Amino acid sequence: MRGRVRVAVTGLGVRTPAGNDLETFWRTLVTGRSTARPITSFDAADLPVGFACQVPGFDTAPYVTGKQARRMDRATLLAVCAADDALADAAAGAGEPPVPPERRAVVTGTALSGSETSEATLLGGEQPGALYIPRTMPNAAAAFVSMRHQILGPSMTVSTACASGGHTIGEGLRLLRDGSADLVVAGGTEACVTRTILLAFHRCGALSQRRADPERASRPFDAGRDGFVLAEGAAFVVLERLEDAVRRGARVYAELAGYGRTSDAHHLTSPDPKGAGAERCMLQALADAGVSTGDVAHVNAHGSGTPLNDVTEAQVITRLFGPVRVPVTSTKSVLGHAIGAAGAIEAVAGVLTLHHRLIHPTINLDAQDPACEIDVVRAPRPLAPGAVVSNSFAFGGHNASLVLTSYDG
């Protein structure tokens, strides 16, 4: 580990069902208020699942003009606003990082890019217009963030289903370590609460069917869980070399210390029942960070609320850390599953957990599944000294784990 570049998280930005600013986002998580509601963006009365976690009060006017907004899908708009906020946050107090455009990079992640535009056009019986491709291409968010902030270095997009957000932040870490960039803005975005996506996830058995009580539908690790609640949102972080951040007097929220990525190579939608890929991923991230299992104080679980995923992840956590030893929480219990943005949103939650020294609760846990022999946090709990692990496990067997540590300098 000697000589390894240390990487600081210096900026955060969110657009989520739990809030469009960091304070509201964190307060919603800590108070454990579900964000699942009946869908308001279209008439879902005839759908088998008519609820989701949508971003409330999403106002783009302070960020883009009407003409600019018409060139972007909702997913891109969410990303642009969250990335703008993350970069402004990184500059707060210490000024903008003195990094030339050629040494800046952006990495975005998405799984279902352009869903709203695609569905409105094709199901609406319209012919695709001149903006259809720019609005639906997966790299649209990266392109717009690059143009807005004159990012002339690497500009990339990752699409690994529900692990996309975690992978983007990890790949940002790698860009700083290998010397490809001096500043990286990285995150995920998704705006997939549409008729087609809802129906498709319902038909593959992934969504909760608790139509009468949406706020109690997302139930990670609960014996009565029956699937996830679909969500939208975006989250971005700004990453810099720690020495650069300290030199310019920046606020350092946390260090991004480790990154793991593996594949199950098992099934298109189901996790490896033994969790071998997930276990290797977490171990890889810990080794990359130079952190032992005994040094971990908290795991922000993928915790989707699906029957198979929760058991598999819980068993891996138990094997690595011991039964009910490390506190575990699921951010998805509060704000649903934002697919390609989920890992980035949860990484921000992990950073804020370290920053505030507090673990937010998992809600709707009435009776914990006995097959999940882990310490699920049910009420806000002080964070003990140690590292935080953030997991993202996806359809296709894609796995990503991040290790975050405190910076007390």
Task: Compute how many other C-beta atoms are within 10 angstroms of the C-beta atom of residue 251.
Answer: 16
Q: Give the pair of three-digit tokens for residue 223.
A: 């014996």
Q: How many residues does the chain have?
A: 409
Rounded CA separation 124/136 (Å): 16
- φ/ψ bin of 218: left (φ > 0), alpha (ψ from -120 to 50), beta (otherwise): beta
Instruction: Give, in order, the Cα–Cα distances in Å from 245 to each of 49, 183, 254.
Output: 46, 10, 11
Contact between 295 and 287 (Cβ < 8 Å):
no
298 is catalytic: no
CA 147 from centroid of its chain's CA atoms:
23
- The one catalytic residue in 81, 162, 192, 281 is 162
Burial of 292 (0-12, 13-18, 19+ CB in 10 A): exposed
- The one catalytic residue in 337, 355, 360, 398 is 337
**Strand-pair partners of 105:** 184
Burial of 314 (0-12, 13-18, 19+ CB in 10 A): buried
- The one catalytic residue in 167, 298, 302, 360 is 302
Helices (H), 20-128: 22-31, 66-70, 74-91, 115-122
Rounded CA separation 90/249 (Å): 11
266 is catalytic: no
192 is catalytic: no
Rounded CA separation 367/277 (Å): 28
Contact between 262 and 277 (Cβ < 8 Å):
yes
Please give the positions annotated as active site: 162, 302, 337
